[in-house]
Structure 1
Amino acid sequence: MIHETSISTDLPAEARRRLTSEPVMVVDLAAIRRNFQALARMAQGSCAAIVKGDAYGHGMVESARTLLAAGAELFFTARFEDALVLRNTLGQGPRIAALDGVTEDGMKEAVAQDIIPVVNSREQLQTASDAAIRQGAPLAAFVHLDTAMNRLGLAPDDDDLALPLLKNLDVQAYMTHFASADDVDLDLCRLQAERLRDRASRFPEAPLSIANSCGVFLGQEFHGHIIRPGKSTFGINPLADAANPLHEPATVLAPVVQIRTLCKGDPVGYSCTWHAPETRRVAILAIGYANGYLRGNSNLGHVAFGDRIAPVVGRVSMDLTAVDISALPESTVHVGSMAEIVGKTINYRSLANTVGTNEHEAIIALGRGCYRTYVGGDAVA
């Protein structure tokens, strides 16, 4: 990955040009490949590639191409529209499914593009069954059985209605989603797995898909036949209280666009929420909440220059953030230096904990707000 505090000559020319005036996210595709292959080796069955949320902020299209090369044969997006983009990107080889399902209006296109719906409700089940009848053959579908989340998925009360309709489907798997695997709530995870197995036993036989990222690390009793590790494929730590066993692919760099010397009492930023306690050197970075650097970092966040930390001072504004570089040697930071927002020194969890969110939100925000470039695409795992 890229961790230099000056513009790297290893980056594409457009990324280097942008880094003179705006932040850039550098995504290491080799890290994504290694993560997926490590997770696949843990599975007792197969491992699906989950690329929802624009691949957790790392870029769906490039990430999916990498995952296909890494051996992924089944992909899940959140939205049907993303599944269509993925089909156009990856061609007709892999299976592609839409986790949120497909509406009646979209079913004809889903069939034509070989997008597999995930059935989450009575209405979606009826739509899928009707499509199967129209085509005169079973329709491939995943069937989501809700076992605790009370979000998407067929409820237990739907089972009697579901049974005759499921006979029209080629069920790829019965799936559920853990509510508290992140919290290592083994009792609830076991209860959900038992509920899934019990309900699925009443339906036409098909594989089971249970474990998300955290569930994978709870052990194979929670896996089912298809694991669905989303965040861990993209380096988000699946372990609550342990070092990350995976590689974090993204580094975000922001250039220093000005350095100011402040006198004691001088304020910084909107509403003057920080005042220099004595003479201070402050670097102004070309990153703000428009780039996904959350406003909650105001007076709380940190950036890094190499392995040296510099605290955020004042409020994060739309396009600019101030950091106190007084503790760093003057020769180490200048206009054009690169501040690490996340990377080798500041990991995903540290970035997220500062603002009281999870790594998903923090990285997705940066991925949406920053120009994104890629390295490691040709690396061998």
Structure 2
Amino acid sequence: MHIDLDAVAANWAALDQLSGPNTQTAAVIKADGYGLGAGRVARRLAENGVRRFFVAVAEEGIAVREALGPGPAICVFSGHMDGDTELLDQLAMTPMLNSIEQLTRHLEALPGHRFGVQLDTGMNRLGMEPAEWAAVSDLVLQANPDLIMSHLACADEPDHPQNAEQLAAFRRMTDGLNVRRSLSATGGILLGKDYHFDLTRPGVGLYGGEPFVNATPVIRLSLPVVQTRDLEPGETVGYSATFVADKPTRIATVSGGYADGLLRSQSGKGQLFAGDIACPIAGRVSMDLISVDVTHLNEVPDYLDIVCPAQGVDDVAGHAGTIGYEILTSLGARYDRTYVGGKA
């Protein structure tokens, strides 16, 4: 797996430019930097001037703080969970409080510690609902929150009516408050300035994923060819014998499978590439191996690419019936990750 950290930085810079001059652009590096290494990604983005990072749970902040040192803010989407107090305190992380229960826990356990608040504007996943917020907003504001945020459910569908509904709800709950506000991740940035507020927090767009279709590709994933074999018509390949050769066929078996995040649902649909030449998957994707039809190649290379300039991560996801997020965050620990760009 070749990871271009300069491409991550370029994608952040492009989204920062779209966010406008009066809006701070943070970076979401949860799930180990979407599978690419949170520490390495965080350090490279900090070189670009990023001063606020978001993780999903407090434990993810350990690697980020170790990589960044003191100074940059690390915000925790899941808030102040039971058992998080010591970690939040030691690593100076900012929990985004999601409920009255979390608010109570935080103010009692860590009085004076920086915190933010997450509001539910219609996604019905995390955050205080309007009635809850109305009941505690005066108390929260007295405690000087660092940020108030919400999250859009349908931002990757620009024409979806829920985008405008959530924007209106967020304004009703926060207009007139002297607190920084954040509503938009990658998709929200692309919806335009009405959605940007004081801070945006791009995630998947940093790593080359949709809906940021103009993103610079970040990864190239090359799978080594373990063995090749020639089949006669009528011979089969793989589990359940779902591929049957209808002519003399050359098959390359590559090292990689669903244990590495290359989903079984690509079976019979996906493809790998030799340069810009597509080579279809033959039969079932198994745990550690994928068979590929390379009959049409003059020479079988040592590696075949599954993520490359000819096929981005969202193309792979399309063959698997999923989204680029799942492919990126499923890429396993067995890959040899090689980084370019940024400081060591």
| Superposition TM-score tier, normalisation by shorter sequence | over 0.9
3-state SS of the aligned residue for 2:145? strand
TM-superposed deviation, 1:40: 1.3
Paired residue for 2:255?
Answer: 286
Paired residue for 1:358?
Answer: 323
Q: Distance in 2 between matches of 1:378 and 1:89?
A: 12
Q: Do the aligned residues in 1 keep the contact of 2:2 with 2:338 (CA within 8 Å)?
A: yes
Q: Distance in 2 between matches of 1:92 and 1:229?
A: 22
Q: Deviations over 1:97-118 (max 9, x none)?
A: 1111122432243123211111
| Equivalent residue letter for 1:290 | A
Aligned residues: CA RMSD: 1.7
The answer as to 2:305 corresponding to 1:327 is no
Q: Distance in 2 between matches of 1:341 and 1:355?
A: 12
Q: Distance in 1 between matches of 2:239 and 2:87?
A: 50
TM-superposed deviation, 1:245: 0.8
Among 274, 296, 306, the residue aligned to 2:243: 274
| Equivalent residue letter for 1:310 | C
| Equivalent residue letter for 2:129 | A
Q: Distance in 1 between matches of 2:341 and 2:224?
A: 23
| Equivalent residue letter for 2:245 | A
Q: Distance in 2 between matches of 1:301 and 1:341?
A: 9
The answer as to 2:132 corresponding to 1:158 is yes
Stretches of 4+ aligned residues off by more than 4 angstroms: none
| Equivalent residue letter for 1:352 | A
Among 230, 234, 238, the residue aligned to 2:207: 234
The answer as to 2:11 corresponding to 1:38 is no
Q: Do the aligned residues in 2 keep the contact of 1:57 with 1:363 (CA within 8 Å)?
A: yes
Q: Do the aligned residues in 2 keep the contact of 1:139 with 1:169 (CA within 8 Å)?
A: no
Q: Do the aligned residues in 1 keep the contact of 2:26 with 2:201 (CA within 8 Å)?
A: yes
Q: Deviations over 1:129-164 (max 9, x none)?
A: 22354xxxx332111010011000001121233124
The answer as to 2:226 corresponding to 1:253 is no
| Equivalent residue letter for 1:328 | L
Where does structure 1 lack aligned partners over 5 or more consecutive residues?
Answer: 1-24
Q: Do the aligned residues in 1 keep the contact of 2:182 with 2:200 (CA within 8 Å)?
A: yes
Change (3 A) 1:128 1:185: farther
3-state SS of the aligned residue for 1:179? coil
Among 64, 72, 79, the residue aligned to 2:57: 79
The total of aligned residue pairs comes to 342
Q: Do the aligned residues in 2 keep the contact of 1:128 with 1:169 (CA within 8 Å)?
A: no
Change (3 A) 1:318 1:56: same
3-state SS of the aligned residue for 1:182? coil
User: Using CA pairs below 8 Å that are at least 6 residues apart, which structure has the higher relative contact order?
Assistant: 1
Paired residue for 1:264?
Answer: 233
TM-score norm. by structure 1 comes to 0.86
Percent same amino acid at aligned positions? 34
Among 103, 107, 117, the residue aligned to 1:143: 117
TM-score norm. by structure 2 comes to 0.95
Q: Which piece of structure 1 moves more, 183-192 or 34-43?
A: 183-192
Q: Deviations over 1:313-363 (max 9, x none)?
A: 01111111111111111xx215xx110010111111110000110001012
TM-superposed deviation, 1:92: 0.5
Q: Which piece of structure 1 moves more, 25-34 or 370-379?
A: 370-379
Q: Do the aligned residues in 2 keep the contact of 1:181 with 1:215 (CA within 8 Å)?
A: yes
Among 178, 185, 190, the residue aligned to 2:164: 190
Paired residue for 2:281?
Answer: 312
Q: Do the aligned residues in 1 keep the contact of 2:227 with 2:252 (CA within 8 Å)?
A: yes
TM-superposed deviation, 1:367: 4.7
3-state SS of the aligned residue for 1:217? helix
Q: Distance in 2 between matches of 1:282 and 1:304?
A: 14
Paired residue for 1:22?
Answer: none
3-state SS of the aligned residue for 1:253? strand
Q: Deviations over 1:215-247 (max 9, x none)?
A: 1111111111100111101111225xxxx2111
3-state SS of the aligned residue for 2:114? strand
Q: Do the aligned residues in 1 keep the contact of 2:250 with 2:295 (CA within 8 Å)?
A: yes
Q: Do the aligned residues in 2 keep the contact of 1:132 with 1:169 (CA within 8 Å)?
A: no
The answer as to 2:38 corresponding to 1:69 is no
Among 238, 246, 268, the residue aligned to 1:299: 268
